[in-house]
Amino acid sequence: MASTSSEWSSRLGFILASAGSAIGLGAIWKFPFWAGVNGGGAFIIPYILFTFTIGVALVIAEVAIGRRGRGSALTAMKRLGGPWFGYLGAFAVFSSFLIVSYYSVVGGWCVSYLVDAFTGNATSTDPEMLKNHFNSLVSDGTRNTAWHFVFLSLTCGVVIAGVEQGIERLSKYLMPTLFILMLCIIVRGLTLPGAWEGVVFLFDFSFEKLTAASILNAMGFTFFSLSLGAGILVTYGSYLSDKTCIPSSSMWVAVLAIQAALLAGLMIMPAVFAFGLEPNAGPGLVFITVPMIFGSIPFGDVFAALFYICLLVAALTSSVSLLEVVTAFLQNEWHLSRRTSVIGCWISLFFLGAVSAFSFGPWSGFTIAGRNFFDFLDFICTNFFMPAGGLAVALLAGWRAWPVIREEIVAVRQYSEGTVKLIHFMLSYLSPILVLVAFYQGIFG
Ligand code: PHE
């Protein structure tokens, strides 16, 4: 990430950093279990449709706003749309702050499983044991908070140190390794007896299975997985050179994000069916299934260690992008130094995250709208705050500032009038309407 320099070194640098933000725990931890909870195809097919319509259009819009406005989410949106859009930008920054607090708890689980892998405790073929292992971790508030602290500290360390030196270079090697490992796991999973049922579950689509909740969740996940509506791509766009073509780079980001999620689905679901587990088992799904697959192959512990290293780096490139948005905001608007900003976030996020960390065990009795604190935060951020941020971006790009956004879209490559009109239609009509309908369904449906 180019937080300390004013521009990405190349188009590839931008695509990798944006894909790094997009691909993380969302694809690998959340996607498989949300697909499981929401009935497989009834979630995945709308997710794919949302991604290639409003998803790509909003990525284009965010990046264009960032490049034209040259500033953090608040600054850029204010420059292009006036003070009210500035407030909406600030709201997006607030969403990032909330998200990173609970994201870090799941990041902590990854650290814990990585440590297990090094001590030879990461694999097993006994589902009951694996379930108990996961449950004992998450229901132990103190242990959960300690791992959250470790992950949060790693995130803060990277943001203070500057990203391009370490993590950027590291992720160039580890992300492809993660993909290769996932492919190996997929091959292993698919060759288990009964695995095909999992593939059918993932892609079998029928209109009867569609529900308001599955559509709302699919839309929310589109925002979550593309890191939309939280100021990330506006910030990253502000470092983008004028010579980079925005629509084609945005398409790349979307394609990479969706393939990561689909690979994760294919990695988990066939194994779930083959091992006779429940697809709607919830947040523990990845942490129960993956160790079982590794438990059934030679050198499973070694592969498991590699897998969790890659997963941790994928999670870090995302959490770092979230914290970077908040830090950029504190630096620009509150005129704090980078160090002070990060330390302030560290302390406040530790406490906020600790509430999420305790919400599976000791504080599970404390619920909001029927959800524990962790689930509630995730629910409102993913299904409401991020889509609301996306709605603001769509209104700004599609209505208020369309002439300059249009210039940004065709700045490098001359797209046909039809393509430009299609993007405009998706921003000015389709995105706002879909977001509003999904909100309505989600609240009153
Ligand atoms: N897209 C990230 C993931 O899938 C999460 C994220 C959400 C990152 C919002 C930035 C902003 O893991």
Q: What is the CA radius of gyration of the chain?
A: 21
**What is the predicted pLDDT for the residue at 6?**
55
Q: Which of 155, 125, 100 minimizes the C-alpha distance to 378? A: 100
Look at ligand 1, atom 11, and give the residue with the nearest C-alpha.
Answer: 227
Give me ligand 1 centre to Cα 233, in Å. 11
Residue owning the nearest CA to atom 2 of ligand 1: 22
Q: Pull the structure tokens for residue 74.
A: 């608040």
The whole-angstrom distance between residue 156's C-alpha and the CA centroid of its chain comes to 18
Q: What are phi and psi of 367, to 5 degrees?
A: -125, 150
Which of the listed residues 29, 223, 224 should we mutate to test ligand 1's pocket, taking the one with most ligand atoms within 8 A of CB?
A: 224
Per-residue pLDDT of the chain (445 residues; tens, 9 = 90+): 444 445 777 788 788 888 889 999 999 999 998 998 888 889 999 999 999 999 999 999 999 999 999 888 899 999 999 999 999 999 999 999 999 999 999 999 999 999 998 887 778 888 888 889 999 999 999 999 999 999 999 999 988 886 566 566 667 777 788 888 888 888 888 988 899 999 998 888 877 888 888 888 899 999 999 999 999 999 889 888 888 999 999 999 999 999 999 999 998 899 889 888 888 888 888 898 888 888 888 888 888 888 888 889 889 989 999 999 999 889 888 999 989 999 999 999 999 999 999 999 888 888 888 899 999 999 999 988 999 999 999 999 999 999 999 999 999 998 999 999 999 999 999 999 999 988 887 777 6
- Ligand 1 midpoint to CA 71 (Å): 20
Q: Which residues have C-beta atoms less than 6 Å from ligand 1?
A: 21-22, 24-27, 99, 224-225, 227, 230, 232, 318, 321-322
Distance 191 CA to ligand 1 centre (A): 31
CB 36 within 8 A of CB 281: yes
Which amino acid would we find at residue 142?
A: T
Rounded to the nearest whole angstrom, what is the distance from the C-alpha of residue 24 to the centroid of ligand 1? Answer: 6
Angle, nearest 10°, between helix axes 83-118 and 386-395?
Answer: 140
Please answer whether residues 307 and 289 qualify as being in contact, where contact means their C-beta atoms are separated by less than 8 angstroms. no
Pocket-testing residue among 101, 318, 379, 384, ligand 1, by greatest number of atoms within 8 A of Cβ: 318
DSSP code at position 370 = T
How many angstroms does the Cα of residue 120 sit away from the middle of ligand 1? 30
Angle separating helix axes 11-22 and 300-334, nearest 10 degrees? 110
Burial class (CB in 10 A: 0-12, 13-18, 19+), 79: middle
Residue 416: count of CB within 10 angstroms of its CB? 9
Q: Give how far Cα 69 sits from Cα of 237, 407, 408, Å.
A: 9, 13, 11
Distance 21 CA to ligand 1 centre (A): 6
Question: What is the Å distance from ligand 1's center to 49 Cα?
Answer: 19
Q: For the chain, what is the largest distance between any 2 Cα atoms, rounded to a whole number of angstroms? A: 60
Task: Please tell me the residue having the least CA distance from ligand 1 atom 6.
Answer: 227
Ligand 1 atom 4 nearest Cα: 26
Residue in the structure block whose two tokens are 């940004």:
408
Q: What does the alpha-carbon distance between residue 107 and residue 170 come to, in Å, rounded to a whole number?
A: 17
Query: What spacing in Å lies between the alpha carbon of 153 and ligand 1's midpoint?
Result: 18
Judge contact between 318 and 21, C-beta under 8 A: yes
Q: Give nearest CA residue, ligand 1 atom 10.
A: 227
Distance of alpha carbon 198 from alpha carbon 259, whole angstroms: 17
CB 212, CB 439: distance < 8 Å: no
Q: Tell me the CA–centroid distance for residue 176 and ligand 1, in Å.
A: 19
Residue with CA at minimum distance from ligand 1 atom 9: 227
Nearest to 19 by CA among 234, 259, 245: 259
pLDDT score, position 4:
42
User: What pLDDT shows up at residue 292?
Assistant: 87
Pocket test of ligand 1: the residue of 258, 262, 321 to mutate, having most ligand atoms within 8 Å of its CB, is: 321
- The pTM assigned to this predicted structure is 0.91
Q: Name the residue among 90, 36, 14, 31 with its Cα closest to residue 280.
A: 36
